[in-house]
Structures are given as C-alpha cells and as structure tokens.
Amino acid sequence: MSDIVNYERKNDHLVVITLNRPEAANALSHTLLDQLNEAVAKISLESDIRCVVITGAGERAFCAGADLKERQGMHEKDVLEAVTYIGDTINRIEQIQVPTIAAINGAAFGGGLELALACDIRIASVHAKMGLTETSLGIIPGAGGTQRLARLIGLGQAKRLIFTAESIDAASAFSLRLVERLSTKETLLQDAEDVANKITKNAPIALIQAKKAIHYGLQTDLQTGLTIEKMSYQATIPTKDRVEALEAFQQKRKPTFIGE
C-alpha cells in the first residue's frame, strides 16, 4: 500500500507533509495517524529543518477530521482511544520546535481544523470551508479545538462557532483571524512555501526560542511571560549565529546561519 502521508524535502531546510487520502477527504484514519506520527518523529531527528508545511492532497479537502467509517461499530472505549490518539498526534504537531504552516487547500472540519489550529500559521485557499461541527454529531471538539480556537479568535466567537456547528468560508475565517492569509487553489502551496522560505532564512535557534516564548508566554500572565521571553533570549546570546549576524551587518552582507 502506498504511503498516505507524504514527506517531502523541498530544500535544505523545508519539509512539506501531505495528507494523501483524497478519496476519503484526507480523513484521520488510524493508519494515517501512524504515518503522521512517523513524519513528526522524523522531523525531530533532522536538525537542519527550519520550517514545516502541512497540507492535503487534492483540492476538495485539507482534512475532514476523524474517519467516521472507522468509528462505526466501535465500543465507547474504542471511540475514546481513537479520539485520544488524534489529540495526542495534534499535540505532537504543536510541539514541533520549528515554525509550522497549515496550507488549507480545501475543507477543514472537526479534527482537520484542530490540526490546522495546532500549526503556527494558517494559509487558506479562497474556496476552503472550515468549522468545528462536532456538536451537530452529538459530541464536542476533542483534539484541542475548544482550547486553541478560543485562544486564537476570542471566547465569544469560538463559542458561537462551536455551539452552532457553523461551517464558514475562507473569507470569514480570515475576517475572524482564524487564518492569517488567503490564497488561490493554484498558488496556495507556492504561497505557503514562499512564507516558509522567508522563515528558513532566519537563525534556527532564534526561531525555536521565539516560538517557545510566544507559545508558553501566552499561557500565563504578562510578568511570567516576560520572564519566559528573557530566558528564551538568553538562549540565543552564546550562539555562533548571533555573532555571524553582527559580522554580516558590519560587512554589509546577508548572514549565513548554521544553527549553532
């Protein structure tokens, strides 16, 4: 059987991960989750990666969420285990040290949107639709959606979308700041890679520490957040890349960062 998660090195520092079940709207089957976890583990072993783009195969769906065909006939315990596996996988994606970009090429519902919410930046095709529609299925978002959506777009709007199970278009998602940029289906992946390539030009340790400061600082009060920022800044001071940036500035050239 062919891989249903494609892992592609686009250049020295960029990886594109593609969910490749277009016939099933790239739904999160157990096998797909296994392969997605393998891809995340591979990223952690390749120290030269500076950015990751996650997208879906085809134009119809980024990810339709849980594979409901697999859920048929499951006992309650099995359902809970399946939801936990999706949540654990999405948490691992959020914990990727380097910046991540979700290139939302089509529908992103339920766990599919929760996957996108775990990424640092979301770029959506203008024809994409998205939503946390679980309450219409008798459940609630169970892979971080109730928490990440509220932190991203605010409490009231998150409650409105989750309570109504409303599906919104890409323009509405952009207006709500659920996605950071819109694109066309023809240029989406290239636009995502262009953003990624701008990121990969910067110092790898600085990128990791900036992501850490933002992520952990947002979960606490301002003063604690400032302390986290200070600690993250301190981690960049002894690096060769910081010295290289100063020398490059003095010599009026672009710095060459090595991640040390």
Catalytic residues: 114, 134
Q: Scan for tokens 């529609």, then name that residue.
A: 133
Q: Cα-flanking dihedrals φ and ψ of residue 166, to 5°?
A: -75, 140
Q: Scan for tokens 């919104």, then name that residue.
A: 168
What DSSP string runs through 9-29? E-SSSEEEEEE--GGGTT-B-
Closest listed residue to residue 99, CA positions, set 213, 175, 182, 188: 213
Q: How many CA atoms lie within 13 A of 53 on its CB side?
A: 30
Distance CA 119, CA 260 (A): 25
